[in-house]
Amino acid sequence: DAKTTQPPSMDCAEGRAANLPCNHSTISGNEYVYWYRQIHSQGPQYIIHGLKNNETNEMASLIITEDRKSSTLILPHATLRDTAVYYCIVDQTGANNLFFGTGTRLTVIP
């Protein structure tokens, strides 16, 4: 079962930063937080993942709170092509699979 909660939808103005929150209050010490996104009728695309430290790559930044009970995905300069459903997933180590929650539908507005 999904172990994360996310707001169902968010809007963001084009060119502005999009901040997508995720709660994972029951996360275990060895579980990673993964973020994926799914553009309509495509397979999910990996964005970023982290354990404890904040992470940044060419797509986004991931901010994980010190208690690890929540995280925020930041798209620094949202474009129209970033419109998608964003999924925050806790990797259930040992279970060897991913369970998806409902995700956040991000709409980037021109």
Residues that bind another protein (CB under 8 A): 2, 32, 34, 36, 38, 41-46, 49, 87, 91, 96-103
Choose between 19 and 32: whose C-beta lies nearer to another protein. Answer: 32
For residues 88 and 73, is the Cβ–Cβ distance under 8 A? yes
Distinct helix (H) and strand (E) counts, the chain: 0, 9
In whole angstroms, how close is the CB of 43 to another protein at the nearest point? Answer: 4
Shortest Å, Cβ 44 to another protein: 5
Cβ distance to another protein smaller for residue 16 or 46:
46
Nearer Cβ to another protein (21/32): 32
User: Minimal distance in Å, beta carbon 45 to another protein?
Assistant: 7
Neighbours of 106 (CB within 10 A): 21
Full DSSP string of 40-86:
TTS--EEEEEESSS-EE-SS-EEEE-TTSSEEEEEESS--GGG-EEE
Q: CB of residue 70 vs another protein: minimum separation in angstroms?
A: 20
